Structure 1
């Protein structure tokens, strides 16, 4: 996924109220000068643990939309080793692009890719199917999660805070599979300084338990890692799952 316009360099000073971050700009923008401190929208409901610290470099997108109160969005941070994709509105787009480009080999040979599909009392991120919509010849429900938490020994972890919503999605996927419908949990890892993935059982033991139960019930658990730079983010490799 290439960014439509060049990203803007800054450094992070503070993240607060979940969706706000104070950023010092390191270059001029259409609206501000280098050195100005602006408030950026942060599309991330998690803790962002291991994703920022004072003065870390960041990349921002600028949105010249009169309806937007905050003209900047926080896209990535850098810990000195890797860019980290913190915009949680992007993983679904990254996943669909990777499926369309045959990067995710396990999710191929479907005729239709539909974003968001209501199932039970929740929505899952992607519905893949072939044949008639009301009676597909084959189908697969996919839930996508953004992974940014860094653990010990280059281990990526999820979630970074207790996720009741994530727990609910795992239950839905497990129920689908027990009803003989293909179901997949897809983790998109948006940092390059990790090489394996595991559930964060110390942060959310219930989520970790439900993930193991989903795996034991043959829900497919896929973990794909992104490469990230100032121009684009793309899914490009599968990494091992540790349960």
Structure 2
């Protein structure tokens, strides 16, 4: 997925109210001036919103939008990068599904986004094909990294995420394939585990869903200021065994 307009480097001053950030663009018509931009990420963004960080913003093409830019990337140590726009993750996955570059899902020819399923949810993608069970695919954007090369999910409590796991478990019970696809939107990670200390309920729901047959997949990404593409699969770690009382 290529960004439709060239990104502009900027320095982050502060992120606040979840969806707002004050920045100073380095180039462009607002270079050197403080501007408020849209932050398209409802999560905690731990380690990604430090004042002084170099980030990349996109001009807003719609003149009806109140804010002139949207935050897209943040630079990381060692020349790495992270994508902070959770709304782009499904576009990246949609391109990969269409190109059949996700090995475990490459046999499916028909891709339907935002299909209704479960009690009150929409699945990100419903895949179908001749002589294949329908595959219900939920996508989650992962940006948290605290230790070594391990990405973690979630970065804050997500009751909605746990509900999606329950919905996928129900699809398995009905005889369908159900896939939770975690997309690591940073290029400095080599594996994924659940952040049990940040959301114990989600971690329990994850293990229950995996035990019930929900497929847990993870893919990395290739990220630079020109765009984001899905990279190869990453291993999803099992939760450590709990001591029996």
TM-score (normalizing by structure 1): 0.94
Aligned residue number for residue 82 of structure 2: 84
Aligned residue number for residue 58 of structure 2: 61
Partner deviation per Cα, 1:117-157 (whole Å, 9 max, x = no partner): 111211111111136xxxx9631100000000002121100
Alignment map for 1:95-174 (pairs within 5 Å): 95-120=93-118, 121-130=120-129, 138-174=133-169
| Residues in 2 aligned to 1:190 and 1:222: alpha-carbon distance in whole angstroms | 14
SS in 1 for 2:133: strand
SS in 1 for 2:222: strand
The number of residues matched between the two structures is 236
Aligned residue number for residue 3 of structure 2: 3
Aligned residue number for residue 235 of structure 1: 230
1:212 and 2:207 correspond: yes
SS in 2 for 1:203: coil
Which 10-residue stretch deviates more, 161-170 or 50-59?
50-59
Return the offset for 1:175: 1.0
Name structure 2 gaps, 5 residues minimum. 239-245
Return the offset for 1:40: 0.7
SS in 1 for 2:134: strand
Aligned residue number for residue 35 of structure 2: 38
**Which ranges of 4 or more aligned residues in structure 1 deviate by more than 3 Å?**
none
| Residues in 2 aligned to 1:84 and 1:128: alpha-carbon distance in whole angstroms | 28
| Residues in 2 aligned to 1:168 and 1:138: alpha-carbon distance in whole angstroms | 22
| Residues in 1 aligned to 2:47 and 2:165: alpha-carbon distance in whole angstroms | 25
SS in 2 for 1:226: strand
| Residues in 2 aligned to 1:187 and 1:117: alpha-carbon distance in whole angstroms | 19
Partner deviation per Cα, 1:93-131 (whole Å, 9 max, x = no partner): 111111222221111222211111111211111111136
| Residues in 2 aligned to 1:51 and 1:144: alpha-carbon distance in whole angstroms | 21
Alignment map for 1:20-31 (pairs within 5 Å): 20-29=20-29
Name structure 1 gaps, 5 residues minimum. none
1:73 and 2:75 correspond: no
Whether the 8 Å CA contact 2:100–2:107 is kept in 1: the answer is no
TM-score (normalizing by structure 2): 0.93
